[in-house]
């Protein structure tokens, strides 16, 4: 008797419900936790043609953390900016936006004022954020 070879098993392509058989993209990363450093805006002193503004920073977290303050004064002019009684950071003023980045991390539980002299602008800024979170006091 003759034994015939077995017929090959047909290969059936699988179809992915996502199409094309490509793997699903990885899930997006979880959002970053909100910054522990928050700010409160205030005007320290007003005078003809300008004022001294302040964003008082508070670190309510458990660890030291860096920070970035952004305050918007359309049409304004920055004279200078500084951190009162602490290590100075870096600042710039472009398109009416003051950006001040920490020189050193703010210790857990600590508070420090960032102050600035602005001319030719309303003392109420168009915007104020610390690490992307709106400042209190507006």
| Rounded average pLDDT over 113-129 | 98
| Rounded average pLDDT over 29-49 | 89
Query: Over 60: is that where the pLDDT of 12 sits?
Result: no
pLDDT given for residue 2 in this prediction: 56
| Rounded average pLDDT over 78-87 | 94
Buried b / exposed e along 73-102 (16+ C-beta atoms within 10 A):
beebebeebebeebeebebebeebbbbbeb
pLDDT-derived band of residue 13, with 50, 70 and 90 as boundaries? low
Supply the mean pLDDT for the chain: 89
Q: How many CB atoms lie within 10 A of CB 119?
A: 14
Distance of alpha carbon 134 from alpha carbon 34, whole angstroms: 12
pLDDT given for residue 17 in this prediction: 52
Query: Over 90: is that where the pLDDT of 19 sits?
Result: no
Note whether 130 and 50 are within 8 A (CB): no
pLDDT-derived band of residue 21, with 50, 70 and 90 as boundaries? low
pTM score, two decimals? 0.76
- Say if residue 53 is exposed, middle or buried (CB neighbours under 10 Å; 0-12, 13-18, 19+): buried
Torsion of CA 79, 91, 88, 47, to 10 degrees: 30
Query: Over 90: is that where the pLDDT of 48 sits?
Result: yes
Percent of the chain with pLDDT over 70: 83
């Amino acid at each position: 008797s003759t034994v015939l070879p077995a017929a090959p098993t047909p290969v059936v392509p699988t179809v992915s419900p996502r199409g094309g058989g490509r793997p699903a993209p990885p899930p997006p990363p979880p959002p970053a936790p909100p910054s522990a450093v928050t700010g409160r805006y205030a005007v320290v002193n007003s005078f003809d043609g300008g004022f001294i503004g302040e964003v008082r920073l508070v670190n309510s977290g458990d660890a030291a953390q860096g920070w970035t303050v952004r305050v918007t004064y359309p049409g304004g002019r920055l004279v200078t900016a500084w951190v009162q009684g602490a290590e100075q950071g870096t600042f710039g003023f472009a398109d009416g936006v003051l950006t001040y980045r920490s020189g050193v991390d703010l210790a857990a539980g600590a508070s420090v004022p960032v102050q600035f002299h602005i001319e030719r602008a309303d003392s109420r800024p168009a915007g104020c954020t610390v690490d992307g979170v709106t400042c209190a006091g507006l």
